[in-house]
Chain A
Amino acid sequence: MFYREAGQFKTDYAADQQIFPILQDRLFVLAVIAVAFLAVPALASPYLYTEILIPFLILSLAAIGLNILVGYCGQVSLGTGGFMAVGAYAAYNLWLRVPELNNLIVVFLFGGLMAAAVGILFGIPSLRIKGFYLAVATLASQFFLDWMFARVKWLTNHTPSGSVAVGHLEVFGWHIDTPADRYLLILGIVVVATVVAKNLVRGHIGRSWMAIRDMDIAAEIIGFRPLRTKLTAFAVSSFFIGVAGAMWGFLRLGSWEPLAFDINRSFQILFMVIIGGLGSLLGSFLGAAFIVLVPIVLNQLPGWLGVRMSTALLSHLEFMVFGAMIVFFLIVEPHGLARLWSVAKEKLRLWPFPH
């Protein structure tokens, strides 16, 4: 009864085509954004910022990027970590070598653009290779990029340890020091990026991606050019992933090495996309929340419950339960958390009245 669209009439096309055609959705999303911008900074502790909210937001953006590629365009990629690394190191080099441009927005955009360029390059094989062959082939980019950032000395400014560090960050004169600053900046970027992504996927480009995903030969026959469509998907996806990578390096870690973007990162983000729901932006957020929160909660739950167990057993149990939960969710709802959400919404239309 709280979620009923009865009485909301659309009288023009613009009203019918808006992102959230239903009033309750609009209010809900606005409320969430308001809470995120206003209430959270008033309440959050540094731990909540640095270990939960910031990773959640950044990885959500990466998941959105990957979801564009996997969920909307149907090209499975295991190279996400590598593209994040491109974003991070490109941003680092711009920040380091052009000190006048000490503006994180510019730096992150550059990181994203470089990642997009590299993404296009590694997307070319997708024209010939499909399915799991492509998935494994994208591992080539993962391993190659990891290797490159560990070996090419110029990219890390010849630091002997191969670990790079950033400091004194600012955006248009705003100094990013505290976790709250970093959180707000990330939140702003993620909100803007999400709106952009939403408009891309519901527009012409998004529809061409989905046509390719559903059946590439058929799409080609009705006039979508596979080369262009697939490569735009790789480019856009890598752009988001690159920006996420740059934020991960600059705002989450502060100092990093290629290991921060290794293959486990790729798997982690693919998990987010699958658990959250393929082809759903909301799913990217839900999946990121799930994958970020579950290990942390599992690791601390026995402590909260007052159960004392050895550290080793705790970690192993965390692995086991995490694995089991993934399998469980895939069995219960292969279409991801986003699907559960929409089922819940369907139910809410009538609840609490049976008819």
Chain B
Amino acid sequence: MLGPFLETLIGGLLTGVLYSLVALGFVLIFKASGVFNFAQGAMVLFAALTVARLAGEIDNKEVHLANFVVAAAILGVALALVGWYCWREYVARGSGAPERRKIQMLAALGAIVGGGAAWLYGKGAWPMWLAIAATAAIMGLLAYAIERLVLRHLVNQEGIILFMATLGIAYFLDGFGQTLWGSDIYTINLGLPKDPIFLLEGVFPGGLLVDPGDLVAAVIAAALVVVLAIFFQTTRVGRALRAVADDHAAAQSVGIPLKTIWLIVWTVSGFVALAAGLIWGAKLGVQFSISLIALKALPVLILGGFTSVPGAIVGGLIIGAGEKLSEVFLAPILIRAFDLAGGGIENWFAYVLALVFLLFRPQGLFGERIIERV
């Protein structure tokens, strides 16, 4: 009995690290801007699709070239509209030439980069590092677009409005990503090992199964978390981020530029989405379904607290292990007791686990204590 238990526990913990990775994206944004960013799942999908398609074979791309052109055209029109709007705004304010030049330069730069990318895209498969770098740049652009087009207009709105706006963004990204890159199933080859490893075969019959792919993925995720933690704790930007998280108004009054900070946070969470997309994509194949992984990260969030990076990690581990153990050991008991048509309890068990936990600690594991005054 101990063998299977340990095996399930290990499998659950490894999966849990991957949940943490997705949850981390949520936490970063919620901490800095108070936005419950439901588009995180869509961002994971978008990043994974972009990498997979950029690094993919050319004959695989032709089918979607037409779609690519259409999507690019739509994007171009949208950008032109934004540009026109900005320009008009500046004219109306009568501000000087430098602003206008900046916009013109940005537009020119965008055109050059876009044209170059389209040309390269047609050339065939990109090396993996280039694809990842390009995707990182695209995620940065996306962050900028979201900040500029959506968030800036919704400052001071209620949380639920912002939440709904991110749902709208999620819809848009799902459609946009698939228009751009297609909705087939694509592979990302990171060279993760696939054959199972069996540990301690002498101690347990059949040994303890460990999926080396999961193991490598978990290590990458853990490394990323450490890097982020260092970034937050020691760098200047990290300090600014924490200041913004504590109090927007106070941070602004000591000269921290709120908009820049938000841009950075969204970019960083875009990178986290990229990392999650790479790992999940290498594991499962890149397909629309991976955007649904966001739902898996939610119980992690409430368990760990919306604002805590360590909470996301520990919460992920608890949820991962809890749901796998419940499915393997609790579900058969429930099936026998209630004459159920099969198990599948892991989907709600994670939520119930988190819910029960919340009843005792309403702010989550590491969440900041909520003090209410009248």
Contact = CB atoms under 8 A, between A and B. Distances in A.
Q: Do A and B have CB atoms closer than 8 angstroms in the complex?
A: yes
Interface of A: 70, 76, 125, 128-133, 135-137, 139-140, 143-144, 146-147, 150-154, 162, 215, 217-218, 221, 263, 267, 270-271, 274-275, 278, 310, 312-313, 315-327, 330-331, 334
Contacts of A76: 160
Interface string B329-347: 0000000001111101101
B344 A151 contact: yes
Given A139-B351, A153-B340, A147 B159 contact: no
Given A140-B351, A140-B355, A162-B341, A323 B175 contact: yes
B357 to A, nearest CB: 10
Top 9 A-B residue pairs of the complex, sorted by shortest distance between their CB atoms = A319-B175, A323-B171, A323-B172, A326-B168, A140-B351, A320-B175, A143-B348, A327-B168, A316-B179
Interface of B: 36, 67, 70, 74, 149-150, 153-154, 157-161, 163-165, 167-176, 178-179, 183, 295, 298-299, 301-302, 306, 338-342, 344-345, 347-348, 351-352, 354-355, 358-359, 362-364, 370, 372-374
A147 to B, nearest CB: 5
B199 to A, nearest CB: 33
A324 B168 contact: yes
A323 B358 contact: no
Given A140-B351, A147-B344, A331-B153, A215 B374 contact: yes
A327 B172 contact: yes
Which secondary structure characterizes the binding site on chain A? Answer: helix
Given A136-B302, A144-B352, A327-B168, A150 B341 contact: yes
Contacts of A125: 355, 358-359
A315 B173 CA distance: 13
A140 B150 contact: no
A320 B306 contact: no
18 contacts: A70-B160, A131-B159, A132-B36, A133-B364, A143-B347, A144-B351, A144-B352, A146-B348, A152-B341, A215-B374, A274-B160, A275-B164, A316-B183, A317-B175, A327-B169, A334-B157, A334-B158, A334-B161
Given A137-B358, A313-B179, A324-B168, A153 B351 contact: no
Contacts of B157: 330, 334
A44 to B, nearest CB: 30
A323 B359 CA distance: 35
A140 B323 CA distance: 13
A136 B298 contact: yes
A326 B363 CA distance: 30
Nearest to A320: B175
B163 A132 contact: yes
Nearest to A124: B359
Contacts of A324: 168, 172
Nearest to B70: A313
Nearest to B183: A312
B169 A323 contact: yes
Given A218-B374, A312-B183, A313-B70, A323 B170 contact: yes
Contacts of A321: 175
A323 B168 contact: yes
Contacts of A133: 302, 306, 358, 362-364
